[in-house]
Amino acid sequence: MDSIRSLHPMAKTWLLDGPLSPYVDAFEALLERGRYAEGTVATDLRALAHFAHWMTRCRLTADQIDEALVQQFLDSHLPRCDCHATALRTHGDLRASLAHLLAVLREQHVILELSGPSGPIAEEMHRYNVHMRDARGLGVGTRAGRLAIVGRLLLCKFAGKAIAIGELQPEDVRGFIATELTRVNSVSHASALAAALRAYFRYRATCGDAMHALLGVISSPARWSLASLPRALTTEEVQRLLTHCAQARSTPLRLLAMVHLALDLGLRVGEIAKLKMDDFDWRAGTVTLKGTKSLRQDVLPLPAATGQALAAYVMHERPVTTLPFLFVRRMAPHDSPVGVDAVSSAIGRALRHAGIARSSHSLRHTLACRLVNKGSSIKEVADVLRHRSMNTSLIYAKLDLQALAEVALPWPGSAA
């Protein structure tokens, strides 16, 4: 309770005499388990006190709290807040703290767990997930993304009733796509929508449904296959990136290890995040990738530079943890593996700070381009990058200038 004693008397009254007082101890226990810093705990309690005060004014009880109520507090109350000056008003801190509160209330069974689709829609999602996994061989991430999109479409049309695909009309699909693009208006989201809906309607066609009319209303953004060049780093940019990582103020060894895994082995950020300590055979100099996008287990050689970077990180920077994962969180909540976004963000920040306008995926392109320039075949590139289809690797053929020169036709009118 030391953190509570440090609160302003007004905030302490809001917290201990308000509707959230029975859950303060559990809230502090959650933060203690995550080994949050004292300053963070104090901020979270100030946020909780402000929310409790607002609840008191609105005559709300704890069992009425959900994501919608939290959003109402942030969107409606916060911009015009006239509470005492001690009230925390930082939007990001309030949102993070109230997410902890929701977790505590669900842990205490005060409010219901978040539920996805139920009934016929849940059953349909299960069948489609099995189809994508067993018949299409799609990875977990791809399946989850498509299920989310299809689930939203079905909820719009069939919430609370049996699914009758024949009742789904082209205007329903057009309206759903328009709503989705209003929510997230980007080319990548439009492509994901088109791919997910088209794949689901084709699945329903295999079930015997007439889907031609619905398939006809789905159009994809114009993206010409192999129209661009791979965005790889130059030798000078690679050196600049590695130098920046080594000089980073925060966790330089972890950053170097991540960059080497992407640059030397061509690992995707998701594969880096999932690596475990026992995936490495240090004597044999190999790393085993499990549960990859290609749904297979791959054993890759571990280059000396990569092994040295990993060893330095493990010996000097890896936090003390009982987890088997190679990369674990260095900030609260502790004893948790890093997520895919954390790896992508860390490498992306390093690239930006090194003055390189590229994404984390460009390191994978860099490895492929390096192999082509050293004379490797497209088949060898596909094997190293673990592409399931050779077509995915064909874009790197544009970089094999010697082979292209051999098949190039003479310019019209030039001397033979």
Average confidence (pLDDT) per 10 residues, the chain, 416 residues: 81 93 93 87 94 94 90 92 93 93 92 72 92 86 88 87 89 90 79 92 93 86 55 89 93 96 91 94 91 71 94 94 91 84 91 90 86 74 68 52 47 56
| 134 close to 114: Cβ distance less than 8 angstroms | no
Hey, is 324 helix, strand or coil?
coil
Residue keyed to tokens 């004292």? 38
Hey, is 83 helix, strand or coil?
coil
Length of the chain as a residue count: 416
Q: Record the pTM.
A: 0.63
pLDDT given for residue 407 in this prediction:
42
| 45 close to 12: Cβ distance less than 8 angstroms | no
pLDDT given for residue 313 in this prediction:
96
Helical segments of 159-251, H only: 170-183, 187-206, 212-216, 235-246
Helical segments of 17-88, H only: 24-33, 38-58, 67-72
d(CA 382, CA 36): 44
**Closest to 369 measured CA to CA, from 200, 234, 272:** 234
| Cis omega (within 30 of 0) for bond into 333 | yes
d(CA 280, CA 262): 16
Tokens of 55: 């609840």
User: What is the spatial order of strands in the sheet that 298-301 belongs to?
Assistant: 280-281, 286-289, 298-301
Residue 105, amino acid: L
d(CA 65, CA 48): 13
